[in-house]
Structure 1
Amino acid sequence: MKLNLPVAVEKAFKQLESCGFCGYLVGGCVRDFLLGTPPTDFDMTTDATPDEIIACFSDHRVVETGIRHGTVTVMIEGMAIEITTHRTEGDYSDNRRPDTVAFTRNLADDLARRDFTINAMAYHPKKGLIDLFAGSQDIKNKMIRCVGDPHKRMAEDALRILRGLRFAAVLGFTLETETGIAIRQNCGQLCYISAERIAAELDKLICGKNAKAIILAETTVLGVVIPELLPAKNFDQMNPHHCYDVLTHTAVAMETLAPVPRLRWAMLFHDLGKPATFTRDEAGVGHFKGHSKVSEAMARARLTALRIRKSIIDSVCLLIKYHDTLIESDKKSVKRWLNRLSEPLFRDLIAIKRGDNLAQAPEYRDRLASLQRLEVLLDQVIAEAACFSLKDLAVNGHDLIGLGITNGAEIGRILNRLLAGVMDEVYQNEKESLMEKAKEIHKC
């Protein structure tokens, strides 16, 4: 096996060799090469100690990114390459990090400490692939399997629980039987993991091509970090519009969306308020009045607890809030929604509505045609450079001040009235006529 490596990586190999050491590519980049996916990061392991690595690359910029654990980052031709000394690890008393780290000259010892076989392979340009735990075979079999005892691996570092599910979701792999059992039996240990690390894994997991299968099969595990999923599992909607229970509908709808975290988060939470709002009418049909509001509140609370960026949370919550709102298919309505959401978020809302409808009973997928018409109208409005925000209005606050209107609140009221009139095509977006309308509004 011969890999086509970037020049910077080849130079790193040669530099280590010139100093009397041996380096290996390791982990995700080797896995990605075998999967036929271009690696984005290149990590190396070596028999050189951290001090020896620093000395070896003295003519390059070196950052001591994790010196206590043997890791330094070397900058070669603009590429950051993490180089870590071969190491063994002691106990993990905090369920996250080893209490002690010991450096070793033995590559096999270093590979044996890693989480999954697909991440425990190494590569050297002359020696080829070093695969001591059959990771390449597990890639062929599309399987996630722990290195060594899976129960020990999960107990050492609880984040591996989510990493295992994330790899299964992203790669479309299945969990090896004992690895799956260990993940489920140890999932309670996720309480020891920081919110930021959990969120980083979940971002990738929900965007995976196999996210639906993992969410439905491993709800109990995911419920440790997203407990709002648990009531939705097998919750019968008792409504002819729906052919799935709440969680299955959610997972099916998610799969229709582009793998963008804000879209996937919005769809994951859009109906999780249904169990709390469920009622049945006299005919026994299920209804969920106010579920959007409850789902939005659930999403905001959970995503805030996961320390997800506020701008993402705000976008997710707007999409959930309006996911079930009827939108008229005309230009006036499109402009009003653009004013409310912005173009990117309005397009996201249409995608959410389409996915929601696609996950309903086939005979009730009647919204798809109107959503398509809505997209056509949206494209037309954008192409026409129509006015749908104050910045597009032909007059501004300075113009109104020129009319002698100095009160800020009054200026805001007039501008918003003018904008509403322009969006509803009552007024033309022309400065002269709008100034006259402004005078009339001010007098009212």
Structure 2
Amino acid sequence: MNIPEPVKRILKALEEHGHEAHCVGGCVRDSLLGREPGDWDVATSALPEETMALFSGRAAPTGLRHGTVTVREGGLSVEVTTFRTDGKYTDRRRPDTVAFTRSLRDDLSRRDFTVNAMGMDLRGTLTDPFGGREDLRNKLLRCVGLPEERFQEDALRILRGLRLAAVLDFSVEEETARALRACRKLLCDVAAERIQIELTKLLCGPAAAEVLREFPEVAGTVVPELLPMVGFDQHSRYHCYDVWEHTLHALSEVPAEPILRWAVLLHDVAKPRCYTRDERGGHFYGHPTVSAEMTDAILRRLKFDNATREAVVTLVLWHDREIPRTEKSIRRALRKLGAERLRQLTEVKRADNLGQAPAYRARLKDVEQIQRMMEDLLARDECVSLRQLAVNGQDMLALGLRGSEIGAALEELLSAVVDGDLPNQRSALLHAAEGRADRQKETKHQNF
């Protein structure tokens, strides 16, 4: 394991003062998998006050109640926590009390999964009392001890388990999987913000579709709107999968970015509500609009920031909207959505089509053509926004327009440019604006 030098110095300082010290948790797991750890955690026999004294000036008491001191070393912030055992978890999130111990094994035994219950010292010696390394080799996620006890202690571990399985592409051990399902209702007591974070990481994992396919009832506990999609036959020649399977296939085809993954997960969430059937098969009239409304409610409930929520809702609303492959239509789409959102929309459309019946995937060529035409328009710096317009508010002010008239005039000019009715040239735009200003003056005079 390649321990960063700042972390090595912390381990060495603790050992030199007579304390045990080990890297623990996710950093050990990721290092053994050849992944770059996101952060580094150290467990030690030193009491919090001893750690504070040893790293005086570089240590902050960020969690003394639970034995945690954050040490700044070489540009890194490293959480150094005293070996401990946990008391009861009455809030199913954090232990009510902790007891410090001198045993690393005792400390590791309170952790969630075997792959997170390993320690490694300065010399690379691995402490692995629960078979975490073997589970890593077998790509298996298993709880430490009794799974139901682990989940009853901290209900968020249920989603964390699914997230790890999705991110690491691991299978879930049989007893752990059974307990995940049996304890899923405990998630109702977990804060929405924490659920949002874990679900987003899960969705962006390479095995997200496989995990959601295996545990839809768990995901449906926190997003119940997903459950009607499971097994819902579309009775459509365009679809060889039910709504849930179509969604999961599409999810695997879109880049692992939070906005895109959430948009694909929810793009057809309203189909069960909008379903009708006649002699031609199943139909879902109006489902993009209803899906967008449901998506907005779901993301608000999960406490998403406004920018992310609005982006996802827009993509869901537009996912089934036809964009003719003409420069005028693409300029209009760029005007309404902007370059970033239209690029995202083409990714969603592409993934949506890849989740349909193979005979109806010809639309992929249409999406690719839209992408090419859009990039060509952008490379030519075609005017699709007020920022690119050759005139501005000051020009309108000089023509005698005031207040809301200015914005209305600029929007009218931009529409004319986007539609190809006017060139984006200052003289042509000013001439058109003068005519508008004259009409405004004449109207005011008549009303007077």
Identify the TM-score tier after normalising by the shorter chain.
over 0.9
Establish whether residue 411 from structure 1 lines up as the match of residue 399 from structure 2. no
| C-alpha separation in 2, matches of 1:57 and 1:38 | 26
Query: Could you give the per-residue CA deviations for residues 68-88 of structure 1, whole angstroms, max 9, x where no partner exists?
Result: 111111111111111111000
Query: Could you give the per-residue CA deviations for residues 351-389 of structure 1, whole angstroms, max 9, x where no partner exists?
Result: 000000010001111211111111111111111111110
What is the CA distance between 1:336 and its match in structure 2? 1.3
| C-alpha separation in 1, matches of 2:38 and 2:145 | 28
Partner of 1:209: 206
What is the CA distance between 1:127 and its match in structure 2? 5.5
Give 3-state SS (helix, strand or coil) of 1:337's partner. Answer: helix
Give 3-state SS (helix, strand or coil) of 1:239's partner. Answer: coil
Equivalent of residue 392 in structure 2, options 391, 396, 400: 396
Establish whether residue 146 from structure 1 lines up as the match of residue 143 from structure 2. yes
| C-alpha separation in 2, matches of 1:206 and 1:146 | 22
Partner of 2:77: 80
Equivalent of residue 199 in structure 1, options 196, 199, 203: 196
Aligned pairs for 1:249-328 within 5 A: 249-281=246-278, 283-328=279-324
Establish whether residue 69 from structure 1 lines up as the match of residue 66 from structure 2. yes
Equivalent of residue 358 in structure 1, options 354, 357, 374: 354
Establish whether residue 248 from structure 1 lines up as the match of residue 229 from structure 2. no
| C-alpha separation in 1, matches of 2:40 and 2:222 | 30
1:429/1:113 Cα in 2 relative to 1: closer, same or farther (>3 Å)? same
Equivalent of residue 104 in structure 1, options 101, 105, 126: 101
Partner of 1:442: 437
AA matched with 1:5: I
| C-alpha separation in 2, matches of 1:191 and 1:365 | 40
AA matched with 2:102: R
AA matched with 2:24: V
| C-alpha separation in 1, matches of 2:61 and 2:223 | 35
Partner of 2:6: 8
Partner of 2:228: 231
| C-alpha separation in 2, matches of 1:175 and 1:284 | 42
Partner of 2:88: 91
AA matched with 1:186: C
Q: Answer whether contact 1:96 1:192 (CA < 8 A) is retained.
A: no
Q: Answer whether contact 2:400 2:437 (CA < 8 A) is retained.
A: no
What is the CA distance between 1:279 and its match in structure 2? 0.2
Gaps of 5+ in 2: 440-448
Matched residue count = 439
Q: Which runs of 4+ in 1 moved over 2 A?
A: 441-444
Partner of 2:339: 343
Give 3-state SS (helix, strand or coil) of 1:308's partner. Answer: coil
RMSD over aligned Cα atoms: 1.0
AA matched with 2:406: I
Query: Could you give the per-residue CA deviations for residues 290-338 of structure 1, whole angstroms, max 9, x where no partner exists?
Result: 1111111111111111111111000000000000000011222222111
| C-alpha separation in 1, matches of 2:400 and 2:255 | 51
Moved more, 17-26 or 144-153: 17-26
Give 3-state SS (helix, strand or coil) of 2:81's partner. Answer: strand
Establish whether residue 387 from structure 1 lines up as the match of residue 383 from structure 2. yes
| C-alpha separation in 2, matches of 1:421 and 1:274 | 37
Moved more, 302-311 or 270-279: 302-311
Q: Answer whether contact 2:2 2:31 (CA < 8 A) is retained.
A: no
| C-alpha separation in 1, matches of 2:45 and 2:124 | 15
| C-alpha separation in 2, matches of 1:38 and 1:53 | 26
| C-alpha separation in 2, matches of 1:74 and 1:188 | 37
What is the CA distance between 1:215 and its match in structure 2? 1.0
AA matched with 2:428: S
AA matched with 2:165: A
| C-alpha separation in 1, matches of 2:124 and 2:75 | 27
Q: Answer whether contact 1:238 1:284 (CA < 8 A) is retained.
A: no
Q: TM-score, normalised by structure 1?
A: 0.97
